[in-house]
Structure 1
Amino acid sequence: MRSRRFPVMILAAGAGLIVVVAVAGWCAGLRINMTPSYALGLWRIAPLDRAVAVGDLVFICPPDTAEFERAFDRGYIRRGLCAGDLSPLIKTVAALSGQRVDIAERVSIDGKPLPESDVQHRDAAGRPLSPFVGGVIPAGELYLHSDFPGSYDSRYFGPIPSSGVLGLARPILTLSP
């Protein structure tokens, strides 16, 4: 009887240790990125003790909207602990409130082309994508971007509330893109 309990106890202890390490990592702001928009691997949410700026790489919770639920249904984003049970996004802040975004075949911000911003009209599965119509970024919102051509970013969902920023995204242990 004793010999049967020992492996079960070892497995239970191992599972418990994994849970403790995962919870500790989560509480320390560690996250695993499994999307191709930025390097795959372990990232950390670093505190942001200033206003968000253009060029900041941030973790941000998407708003709980039908657009993001559709994005989840299509597999663009995953479930997580943000509103609507969505996972945070890692994106670069490309424009702030008051800046003008124009979208054609590429994105321009305040009249300057945004590098690596070609607009796709179909996703990788061949489904139609509708680009954001453009305009002036409203107060309290951010326009987000990723250089990855297939990224689901503000080219498609438009600006989102800056109140969703969790902090700066810092790679810890990642694979090069």
Structure 2
Amino acid sequence: MTAATRTGPRAFARRRQSAITLSISAAAIALVALTGFPGGYRINLTPSEPLGLWRIVPLDGPADVGDLVFICPPDTASIREARARGYLRSGLCPGGVAPLIKTVVAVGGQRVEIAAEVTIDGRMLPTSTLAEKDGKGRPLTPFASGVVPRGQVFLHSAFAGSFDSRYFGPVPTSSILGLAQEVLTYAP
């Protein structure tokens, strides 16, 4: 390819088209960022749930087992440590973390046993194997077993590397922002 070909009308048109596409994409992202937050829209960039655009939908009643929810984790020592280790993204929740998308697997009054896997009221929770160490070889401390207190929920994600209640314990139902609804997502 000659220098003239790289700088000719076709190359200019391709660069111009790329610049236009990039500008439109940047404007769309800015629009979602500015209007999406007040409208309950969030972008999930973690592998715990499909990547993409999600919406927070208000709950009609108390959270129940099986509900997929957005939650602001409370500002506890385990959440601060998770933030320092890079498990959680920055955001507007207490402690400076982003909301999490997790499934409610136990509610107040249910017994959670944590060993090599999690059992709830004597039934094993699928895909709940505990990790002893994180991806960098640092030890992970599981939450102690016990009864989920009233007004709290135990959260889980089937993603193998998920940081959830297996490690940080039950969270207050007041931390739930609403149901998590997929809008435009991609699951690899």
Q: Give the structure 1 partner of residue 56 of structure 2.
A: 45
1:61 maps to amino acid: C
Q: Give the structure 2 partner of residue 141 of structure 1.
A: 152
Q: TM-score, normalised by structure 2?
A: 0.83
| Alpha-carbon offset, residue 149 of structure 1 | 0.9
Question: Of 83, 100, 109, which residue of structure 2 is paired with 1:72?
Answer: 83
- CA–CA separation in structure 1 for the residues paired with 2:32 and 2:116: 46
Deviation beyond 3 Å, 4+ runs, structure 1:
13-21
- CA–CA separation in structure 1 for the residues paired with 2:146 and 2:77: 21
Q: Give the structure 2 partner of residue 100 of structure 1.
A: 111
Residue segments in structure 1 that go unaligned for 5+ positions in a row: 1-12
Q: Give the structure 2 partner of residue 3 of structure 1.
A: none
Question: Of 106, 125, 137, which residue of structure 2 is paired with 1:114?
Answer: 125
Identity of aligned residues (%): 58
**C-alpha RMSD of the superposition:** 1.8
SS of the counterpart of 1:28?
coil
Residue segments in structure 2 that go unaligned for 5+ positions in a row: 1-22
Q: How many residues align?
A: 166
Question: Of 34, 54, 62, which residue of structure 2 is paired with 1:23?
Answer: 34
- CA–CA separation in structure 2 for the residues paired with 1:86 and 1:168: 18
Q: TM-score, normalised by structure 1?
A: 0.88
Change (3 A) 1:105 1:18: closer
| Alpha-carbon offset, residue 154 of structure 1 | 0.6
Q: Deviations over 1:8-37 (max 9, x none)?
A: xxxxx9878864542111111110111111
Change (3 A) 1:42 1:20: closer
- CA–CA separation in structure 1 for the residues paired with 2:54 and 2:30: 18
